[in-house]
Structure 1
Amino acid sequence: MSRIRLSAVFLVAALAACSSSWAQSPSVLYTWDGAANIEDWKKNFGTNDVLLDNNIAGQLRIIEIGAPGEDVAISDGSNRRFESSTAGGGLDLTGLDFLEFDLGHNGLGNVDVQFYIQGSLGFTYVSLGPDVAVTPGVSTYQLPLAGLTFEQQVYIRTVGFNIRDHAGEGNLVWTVEEVRSAGTPLTVRDLATHDLGSSDNGLQGVFANFDQGAIIGNDGAQNQTGFSHNASLGSLQWTDQGDHGVGDTSGAAIAYGNGTVFNGSSFNERLTDLSNYDFVTYRVSATDPTGGGGSVDVQAYYQTGSGFSYQAAGDLTLPIDGTFYDLKYPLAGVTDRSNVQFSGLNLASHMNDIQINIDLVRYSTIPEPSSLAIVGIAAVLAASDRRRRTI
């Protein structure tokens, strides 16, 4: 397929070890400040009945109309991640610390409310701490995410609140003015390490996305056939064929979701929020089983938004010599990074079979000046030629 070339790309030969960490960007999830639209919020469960409206800009109103003061739970839709997103899947709050609700009611006294999420492949219901006494009028309530597992925090299907019985207050009108994710974002996220004990028995959700015929052992579908986990290296491994039918030498394109299990399909791996980062680094090696050398071009790509828009972050040349190299791609040209359906590597054509190992997929912000020595000096691909040099 066609490949986008950038005026400057990076090939880094070594990256000093640092601790794994996880993060993404804090943001406003819902504001209801546009045309009247409740943005897929609904009654989730409970005894009381409610009407929801957005007749007042900037407010979601929940009007109780059932048995006076009975309990009711309200949430967003299970395929609505936030207000501006129309791509179905899970909300990725990896690395963040809190959800914040600007919430209140028109009653005279406090009403106990349980804030919750439903997350992970099992749609698990998790309370965000103990019940909170919500006061009359609108106030901000900050709920910790510390009790969530990684699988729950990276794939949140609903956020909501469960209004407890309040018979003494009778039926109330509740108002939500904003819902936000909050916390101090970190600077590094390891999307995949392929270490022993990582998800999917070390495969971490990777699958063959297209040109699957290049992967020896793949059955021609978007799945994990043909992949293996190299336990001694702690890496993803597959053999990419050279000529695999009537002169077809195209390499495979492999894809990652959010780093959790594939589970027979990729839906539970979507979407991933990578908006906090400036670079992605793939630690990769290529080996010719017959002892040949040469090199292969490797493109980092993204599919974003509800339309799975294909975007390339650039191409780098990987030596076929069995050595792990850090291929570092800038993300400045990739748009809509908060709505990443898939990300991965797309191998260019190559004549011989090559064994590929991926040891690490790491996202990072722009390095601080003091850390430049760690990542080394970038090799520059000039727009006018194709020469690369590794420093």
Structure 2
Amino acid sequence: MTAIVNFLAHIVIGSMLLKSRSFRQSRHIYIFSVALADFLGGMTIPLSILETMNSGWTLDPYLCPVFLVTRHSMLLVSLLSVLLFTLDRWWSITFPLSYRARQSRHKSIIVLIIVWIFAGIVHVPTSFVWNSQYMDNGYKIKFCLYPYNFDPVYAMSLTVIEFSLPIFFLLVLNASIYVVLTRRRNATELRRSLSTNERAVRSRINNQSSCLPNCNCASKRCDNKEPRPLKHAKNHSSSELPAQTATEIVRNRSRSVDVGSTVSCQYSFSRKESDNLVRDFLLRQGMRAVFSVGILTMVAILFRLPYVIASLLDVFSFPVPSGTLLFLQNLTVINTMVNPFLYKLGNKSIKKTLEICIASKLEKTDKLGIKLTSMYSILDRNGKVSNILRT
């Protein structure tokens, strides 16, 4: 059942990402890499269930290295892809202009290819060499686990590469994103308060000391001076055209007000408002991003940390039962089943694509039902349904 859920969930996520118009973005390519790695890692779940039910590895001993390489390599690829996704979100939030100018789908694909090759280099040689040595020496494999007990240095270095360093950088990047967004939110609140005060002061000044042309004010008198029409417009350039001016009398003193300057002030003020809207949108988008990567990081730590601790204890003269190690190893694979339900958190494009796919499937189902109903009514009119039921 778990393998079926893992298979269906990753098939749905992969098809949605491929159908999404925004798949060209780097973040969706990283999510697709996570989904593919989790899918391949989840395909080892039936073998783990069979090993648990039989209380040992009953399959071909030479199949054990393939099982170990597939599982641990895909777990490493999944974690490194989450790290790349978090790095992409950190770059887009901290340096948005540089991100929009330099981010490229081809660069993301090249980095992911390097990650997949690196995961294979880390696990393939050691797994096949160690297991072949044990089989040649007549070593009986009870459980298909990594033989860490014979090389503590390799076990420690592999733990640092597979778990400690990626988790450390994930925590640092998440903390940095949170700090940047907190400062940006405080700056947004300060800017809103200042803009509110600016509006109040501007409206007070406009009510007291400004008057546009063709206005009827009780306390002010406006005398419009219409420019004289040009008889020969062709002989004059556009720079010589007189500007529209209005004479306003404030406190028994007259002065000329340029209407164009008033319009430009209004335009600049509206431009400030649009900039504020853009900043608020980026802030909300950043909060969704930090929520998404934070959830992925916490779930990865929760499911992988127990196995790392148990394997290190088993290496450094604190023996852990093989059944416990097998259970904790299977617990790390459950992370691959949980991830598909976390991808759509904080990602509106995946949610929208899922809604569109469901709506299209329902629409096709409704059309099929209408066609079947119409065919049944036609057959019923001709009396063919009764003949079929009689036979």
Shared fold, TM over 0.5: no
Q: Relative to total residues, which structure has the larger strand share, 1 or 2?
A: 1
Give the TM-score of the pair, scaled to structure 2. Answer: 0.22
> Which structure has the larger Rg over C-alpha atoms?
2
Give the TM-score of the pair, scaled to structure 1. Answer: 0.22
Q: Relative to total residues, which structure has the larger helix share, 1 or 2?
A: 2
